[in-house]
Amino acid sequence: MSHVVLYTAAFIISLCLALALTPFVIKLAYKIGAIDKPNHRKVHTRIMPRLGGLGIYAAFIGAYFVIQPFIPEGLFRSYDKNLINAMIAGGSIIVVIGVLDDRFELSAKVKLLGQILAACVVVFGFGVKIDLLNIPFGEAMQPVASWISIPLTIIWIVGVTNAINLIDGLDGLAAGVSGIAIATILIMAAVMGFAPVILLSALLLGGVIGFLVFNFHPAKIFMGDTGSLFLGFGLATLSMLGFKQVTMVSFVTPLLIIGVPLSDTFFAIVRRWINKKPIFAPDKGHLHHCLRELGFSHRKTVLIIYAIAAFFGLCAVLQSTIVQSDAANWITFGVILVLVFFLQIGAELIGIVDKSRRPLISFLQRLLVRTEQSRSK
């Protein structure tokens, strides 16, 4: 079986399994009481099953074991196999935590401990960690000391896992944004010829798209923490390829891949800090909430965020293909500054941090007034 056929078969099998298994997951969620009831923070107005991530996970695992006997000998090195096993083992721990939370609503501390455990399994159990880092304006890939790489990897996995969880607020939002990020990783891995990430991304993308059929507005099922945590964990693990492998990929690539959930998480932390609220306290100030307040419909809000996620993904792909040089580094640096500038402008316009504070816009307005005054003189 050729490699392209293998990856295509993996995607199709995972897609079909998700389409077939999700209706059974819906019934199971109602049966065991894994349901989401409406409240003042929720957008939905009726009881919904929230175990959907189990369908994504089952499709991912099921398709992998179906395809495994057909994987050509020698396609994966020992490190590649470790990456696959780390994804399966750590992801399974995350799914168990998610299922328990969807049914019994675990505390934030318990979920955090579960995420740290899964990250530790990846790092200590299978040796998958960030050990090479491309520093802009530096000498290609730089080795990272273990005392830095281990906590850095754990923080990255836990951080990204929670970032996906935070954007799971509208039908199809987290699944779609995750799917776009996975597709971005798949394209980059294909360009690099990194076989294990191509296979894992194809499997995961198939499961996500199959589930999205039941999750897009109006949703028949929510992915719940089972899905958002599993997808976050998967993205964190797969996007670490942006820290290693080839010199043309810098440390900003994985940040661009998951730019939407990371930026939303960053603004949430700043917002809660400014308002003197606990960092883990839920609120209705996320990107999707702000867009809804501006009058966009449920579907339009989700599609707008899809477009933003796709733009970030395109930037990641383009940035990763720039040949490493001083000029390329400066181009990348300039693009990042422009992205940060427009992110801040957008955040102030929609009020994602504070409805009344617009420091950058106010500064630009004052600058414009002064320019006009100087011209009039």
For 109, the token pair is 């501390």
Cα separation, 267 vs 217, whole angstroms = 26
* DSSP 3-state of 67: helix
Helical H segments across the chain, by residue range: 3-32, 53-67, 78-104, 108-120, 126, 146-166, 173-192, 195-215, 224-239, 253-257, 259-274, 287-293, 298-320, 326-350, 359-376
225 is in an annotated binding site: yes
What 356-364 contacts at long range (C-beta under 8 Å, 24+ apart), as own/partner pairs, is: 357/274
102 is in an annotated binding site: no
* DSSP 3-state of 48: strand
Write the CB contacts of 208 (distance below 8 Å, at least 6 apart in sequence): 18, 56, 175, 178, 179, 182, 231
Cα separation, 308 vs 296, whole angstroms = 15
> Which residues make beta-bridge pairs with 160?
none
**Using an 8 Å Cβ cutoff, are 5 and 46 in contact?**
no
Cα separation, 323 vs 320, whole angstroms = 8
Residue 124 DSSP symbol: I
Residue type, 52: G
From the list 292, 313, 312, 293, the residue with the least C-alpha distance to 302 is 292
For 113, the token pair is 């401990």
Preceding peptide of 218 cis, ω within 30°: yes
**Using an 8 Å Cβ cutoff, are 14 and 60 in contact?**
yes
Would you list which residues are annotated within the binding site for Mg(2+)? 165, 225
Would you list which residues are annotated within the binding site? 165, 225
